[in-house]
């Protein structure tokens, strides 16, 4: 069983072309779609999706991720190798936080000449990244496909500041329920607030609660999300809409 | 071949975490996504999706369903065993109509201590239900994972009343075309209306027709849907929008 | 490994019923969803999705496609056989451009009596097309399931006209980024425009560019898309929204 995950901002159709190319190269892969609903070009959200999901997969999984506003420009195409997983995608920081969660990483620049067919300017998912995943899935080594790369694009989840009465951080991801997930680690939240304490999120009162269903319906809450970060939610509702949050703004939690 | 279906209101990303957990527990499962587009917390729509789909799957299929507004509260986690299928999910009625369609059911309360890792307060799909499906898929019995449960949450599809000139029922599901599917069985509709008869749906004239394309484009129709229930549709259009129907209101069909 | 692709306008839930039926008929198929997000009844967009994707799949793949506004009327159900691939769906032109890309085709009308269960009037995807794919996947020949059909519905991608200062064509597909893909072949575009030349698309200035990221952010561009056709895009934006294009209008590119 060779597992290949896919993460893109393609929504539909284009992921199938990538799978077709891989099916033509290797025997019976198992495809798992992480998400194809990343906002167009939103590298940070995709990096977070990878960061919070890929470590649940078995050893040997190949993670193919394409959020690639620089396709066809001089940005490189890379393989990132960790102890037991591979990541394949553009060199724009997308793959790095998830890969580094596994420990030490090695980065390789994919050589276009390792690709069999003509490479388009606009769909490297199909023409470079999928064939690379197909080569890895059929037993090739990263060294066969690319050259070691010393310098690559990093991506930071941003600074967190904790004072006695304030937490400052940044929105990393808004999930499909409208839950707002920040870069503030659970431990910092748990040291900051007492159970059921009232907090202020951008001036709105929110209860600190262990889970959604322990506050009133439609009430704003702050909790430790399942990803291990401070999350802002509305029980039965949509916190991002309630607070008019989109993208990756700074976030402030006050007592 | 071990088939596991998934039904959630997660839209994207979170189903992949559930699959990752299962892939780490059993050899080469086949995942089939029923739908992840259930409205947030809409247990009845999800129960209907399961009810109309799961009986087409082969014997031995495991149906994992998570529409779970009570996650982290005192609601139980359950396994429902039928003659040949398993259902896994929260004890909020979600699983029961589909399971009872197979005949007699046995219900087990999942014991958290059967789970290997730490259980979050907000994502039992990943931390309890997926591991349970993984255990069942790798040959464990329901008795190994939980305790028999005498009392569990039921879920009713609601009353239907048929008079000479009126049918009363309830909306169970609005599909992606905007077709409005009710709880009124086909047999009651077929006894009520003559072929091509004009009916009134909330005051709007609709033809009773065997299929969409046998009325004019954009015309409202009432038909026996593929699920075996009275369905309200617009040929080439969206009946829910036309009639301003959302959720699960009562429905009245008049002559 | 038996690969079955699925292309529909069903969005969600109904594709799972089709897969269930197939799983009950053949051993361990590999399902690949091309897209289920085709606009309701938009046969041309679905035909284009098939045309640009199916030829990447390995020999022996079965392509099941259901965009079927005429379900339950007198329109036929067909199998199209090419040298190495099968297509299954309604006889409304949907399958033909993709199938003809493989060379000569043979068309068979599916006989309802080859189906095991009761056939609904409204969901032939589940009751006729999926069982047909299941029969083909388990080794049956097209001749076992249907009768050769001499006359079938064709579908044209439309005329293209190229003058010295004008290109005329038609919109075939709007992708999930809002890129507008026309029926004008890359070769005609490449003979028409010089690199980086400014063109007019419905009166709007657009750069002719090899890829999105080589023009300014939010700038309109004309390029050779990854499908091999003239494509209109906005770097980091949505060209269909910018130009207010929906459906399949005529398109004019001027110097």
What is the percent of chain B where pLDDT is above 70? 100
Contacts of B46 in chain C (CB under 8 A): none
Give chain A as a DSSP string. -EEEEEEES--SSHHHHHHHHHHTTSSSEEEEEEES-PPTT-HHHHHHHHHHHGGGSPTT-EEEEE--TTTTSS--EEEEE-SS-EEEEESSSTTHHHHHTTS--EEEEEPGGG-SSPPPSS-HIIIIIHHHHHHHHTT--HHHHEEE-S----------EE-SSEEEEEEEEE-TT--EEEEEEHHHHHHH--TT-EEEETTEEEEE-SSGGGS-TT-EEEEE-TTSEEEEEETTS-HHHHHT--SS-EEEEE-
| Nearest residue to A112 (alpha-carbon basis) of A68, A76, A153 | A76
Of B30, B35, B211, the CB nearest to C72: B211
Predicted confidence at residue C26, as pLDDT, reads 93
Predicted confidence at residue C112, as pLDDT, reads 85
Predicted confidence at residue B114, as pLDDT, reads 77
Q: Does the pLDDT of residue C56 top 90, yes or no?
A: yes
Kindly state whether B33 is in contact with chain C, defined as any CB-CB distance less than 8 angstroms.
yes
Predicted confidence at residue C207, as pLDDT, reads 96
Please judge whether B16 and A177 are an interchain contact, meaning their C-beta atoms are less than 8 angstroms apart.
no
Contacts of C224 in chain A (CB under 8 A): 120-121
Kindly state whether C126 is in contact with chain B, defined as any CB-CB distance less than 8 angstroms.
yes
Predicted confidence at residue C118, as pLDDT, reads 85
Kindly state whether C117 is in contact with chain B, defined as any CB-CB distance less than 8 angstroms.
no
- Span C121-139, pLDDT tens digits: 999 999 999 999 999 999 9
Are C222 and C189 in contact, with CB atoms under 8 Å apart?
yes
Predicted confidence at residue C1, as pLDDT, reads 74
Please judge whether B177 and C120 are an interchain contact, meaning their C-beta atoms are less than 8 angstroms apart.
no
Kindly state whether A76 is in contact with chain C, defined as any CB-CB distance less than 8 angstroms.
no
CATH class of the domain at A2-148: alpha beta
Common-topology check for domains C2-148 and C161-254: no
Predicted confidence at residue B113, as pLDDT, reads 80
> Which of A207, A209, A212 to probe the B interface (max B CBs under 10 A)?
A212
pLDDT classification of C114: cutoffs 50, 70, 90:
confident
Higher pLDDT, C113 or B90: B90
Q: For chain B, what is the mean pLDDT?
A: 96
Q: Does the pLDDT of residue C37 top 90, yes or no?
A: yes
Cα–Cα distance for residue pair A3/A32, rounded to 1 Å: 7
Name the minimum distance, in Å, from the CA of A205 to any CA of chain C.
Answer: 36
Please judge whether B1 and C28 are an interchain contact, meaning their C-beta atoms are less than 8 angstroms apart.
yes
Name the minimum distance, in Å, from the CA of A85 to any CA of chain B.
Answer: 13
Asked if the ipTM is above 0.90, the reply is: yes
Mean pLDDT for B4-16 is: 98
Mean pLDDT for B159-177 is: 96
Name the minimum distance, in Å, from the CA of A224 to any CA of chain B.
Answer: 8
Predicted confidence at residue C241, as pLDDT, reads 98
Predicted confidence at residue C113, as pLDDT, reads 80
Please judge whether B122 and A225 are an interchain contact, meaning their C-beta atoms are less than 8 angstroms apart.
yes
Please judge whether A122 and C30 are an interchain contact, meaning their C-beta atoms are less than 8 angstroms apart.
no
Predicted confidence at residue A80, as pLDDT, reads 98
Name the minimum distance, in Å, from the CA of C85 to any CA of chain A.
Answer: 13
Predicted confidence at residue C177, as pLDDT, reads 96
Please judge whether C56 and A126 are an interchain contact, meaning their C-beta atoms are less than 8 angstroms apart.
yes
Of B12, B40, B70, the CB nearest to A37: B12
Contacts of B12 in chain A (CB under 8 A): 35-37, 176
Cα–Cα distance for residue pair C233/C207, rounded to 1 Å: 10
Contacts of C57 in chain A (CB under 8 A): 20, 23-24
Of B14, B16, B122, the CB nearest to A5: B16
Contacts of A54 in chain B (CB under 8 A): 20
Q: Which tokens in the block code for residue A135?
A: 């080569």
Please judge whether B69 and A177 are an interchain contact, meaning their C-beta atoms are less than 8 angstroms apart.
no
pLDDT classification of B123: cutoffs 50, 70, 90:
very high
Mean pLDDT for C87-92 is: 98
pLDDT classification of C3: cutoffs 50, 70, 90:
very high
Contacts of B121 in chain A (CB under 8 A): 210-211, 223-224
Higher pLDDT, C25 or A1: C25
Predicted confidence at residue A114, as pLDDT, reads 77
Cα–Cα distance for residue pair C87/C78, rounded to 1 Å: 8
* Local mean pLDDT, 10-residue blocks, chain A (255 residues): 95 98 94 98 98 97 97 94 97 98 98 83 95 96 96 97 96 97 97 94 95 94 96 97 97 96
Name the minimum distance, in Å, from the CA of B43 to any CA of chain C.
Answer: 15
CB-defined contacts A:B, below 8 A: 80
**Chain C: residue whose CA lies nearest to B1:** C28
Please judge whether A121 and C33 are an interchain contact, meaning their C-beta atoms are less than 8 angstroms apart.
no
Kindly state whether B176 is in contact with chain C, defined as any CB-CB distance less than 8 angstroms.
yes
Predicted confidence at residue A23, as pLDDT, reads 97
Contacts of C121 in chain B (CB under 8 A): 210-211, 223-224, 226
What CATH fold (topology level) applies to the domain B161-254?
Elongation Factor Tu (Ef-tu); domain 3 (2.40.30)
The residue extents of the domains of chain B are 2-148, 161-254
- Find chains touching chain B: ≥3 CB pairs under 8 Å: A, C
Please judge whether C226 and A126 are an interchain contact, meaning their C-beta atoms are less than 8 angstroms apart.
yes
């Amino acid at each position: 069983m060779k597992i290949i995950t896919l993460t893109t901002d393609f929504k539909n159709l284009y992921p199938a072309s990538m799978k077709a190319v891989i099916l033509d190269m290797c025997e019976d892969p198992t495809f798992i779609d992480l998400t194809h609903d990343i906002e167009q070009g939103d590298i940070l959200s995709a990096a977070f999706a990878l960061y919070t999901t890929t470590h649940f997969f078995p050893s040997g999984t190949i993670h193919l991720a394409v959020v690639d506003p620089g396709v066809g420009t001089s940005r490189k195409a890379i393989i990132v190798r960790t102890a037991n997983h591979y990541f394949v995608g553009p060199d724009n920081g997308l793959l790095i936080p998830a890969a580094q969660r596994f420990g030490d990483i090695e980065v390789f620049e994919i050589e276009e000449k390792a690709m069999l067919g003509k490479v388009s300017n606009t769909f490297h998912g199909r023409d470079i990244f999928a064939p690379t995943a197909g080569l890895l899935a059929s037993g090739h080594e990263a060294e066969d496909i690319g050259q070691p790369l010393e310098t690559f694009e990093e991506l930071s989840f941003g600074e967190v500041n904790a004072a006695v009465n304030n937490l400052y951080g940044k929105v990393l991801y808004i999930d499909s329920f409208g839950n707002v997930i920040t870069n503030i680690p659970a431990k910092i939240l748990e040291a900051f607030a007492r159970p059921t304490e009232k907090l202020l999120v951008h001036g709105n009162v929110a209860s600190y609660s262990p889970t959604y269903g322990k506050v009133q319906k439609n009430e704003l809450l702050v909790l430790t999300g399942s990803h291990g970060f401070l999350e802002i939610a509305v029980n039965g509702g949509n916190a991002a809409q309630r607070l008019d949050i989109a993208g990756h703004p700074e976030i402030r939690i006050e007592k």
